[in-house]
Structure 1
Amino acid sequence: MKTVLICVMLALGKFVLAQETTTITIEVENIANDEGQLILGMYTEDDFLKTKPYYSQQVKINDGKATVVFKDVPVGEYGISCFHDANGNQKMDFEPSGMPAEDYGVSNNPMLYGPPRWDDAKFQLTEENNTISIRF
């Protein structure tokens, strides 16, 4: 029985080590101005907008555009959320009414009437599908 268990564990270990990875490029357009920076996070369903994402970057904005690249990302299902941190305070600001005071976007560019949900933003990252465009 121990021999069977060891064989199964070794087989699973090889499967995990052989997991396919890819590079993803995220292009964000239509940013109001070049002040501050773009803060972007790529999430799994379990951590979508709940905790700090495993993949995140802060990048400069040039001519209303910003590009983020993540390398060696396992293929799978992800969602992206980003915002224009215009004042550079490292957080998304809100109006007293609770509405966002800074522009934001999510993958799939849905028309939102509230906070983004996982179903709005999720996409399948494959080796062929590795460029995402987000418009503010």
Structure 2
Amino acid sequence: MKTVTAALAALTLATAAPALAVEPSRLTLTFETGAPTGAVMVALYDSEAAWSDGAPVRSARLDVAAGQRTATFDDLPAGDYGMKAYHDVNGDGTMNTNPFGMPTEPYAFSNNAVGNMGPARWDRARFAVPGTTAQTIVIR
């Protein structure tokens, strides 16, 4: 009987305590650009499946010509994320390529990961966003 009473008392205390909610995070990406023209197009992904051929969970367009160099994403749930970006230097709205399909405009991935005959792999680009923190990442 003592065991049951003690268990009920512990359960009552556990349910009476307020739940600790994990607050969303703020992520700021700062881009070091080589040209003062055009725009940086940013896409943020929250899974390997989305990274491969899905839609980003967030995106941003930075007007480099107007001096914008940072993208801030508020209210991100804790988890793993990856970022793809390109600098649309000539401002035509597309990532320009040569006749062989190789990009002719600068591009980058989170963790400054490098791709091999294509985009960087998720396992190289992913990074953790812990809850309740502000995080700033510099992309070169």
1:111 maps to which of 108, 114, 119: 114
User: TM-score normalised to the size of structure 2?
Assistant: 0.74
CA radius of gyration, larger in: 2
1:75 maps to which of 74, 78, 97: 78
User: Matched residues in 2 for 1:85 and 1:52: separation?
Assistant: 20
Percent identity over the alignment is: 34
Cα distance, 1:129 vs structure 2: 6.2
Contact 1:33 1:63 in 2 (8 A): no
1:42 maps to which of 44, 54, 69: 44
Residues 50-77 of structure 1 show CA distances to partners (whole Å, capped at 9, x for unaligned) of 2331210001226987110011111110
User: TM-score normalised to the size of structure 1?
Assistant: 0.76
Residues 58-113 of structure 1 show CA distances to partners (whole Å, capped at 9, x for unaligned) of 01226987110011111110000110011223221211112111100111112333
The CA RMSD measured in Å over matched residues stands at: 2.3
Cα distance, 1:132 vs structure 2: 1.2
Q: Secondary structure at the match of 1:120?
A: helix
Q: Name the aligned partner's letter for residue 22 of structure 1.
A: S
Change over 3 Å in CA distance of 1:90–1:62 after alignment to 2: closer
- Richer in helix (by share): 2
User: Matched residues in 2 for 1:44 and 1:113: separation?
Assistant: 22
Q: Name the aligned partner's letter for residue 21 of structure 1.
A: P
Q: Does residue 132 of structure 1 match 2:134?
A: no
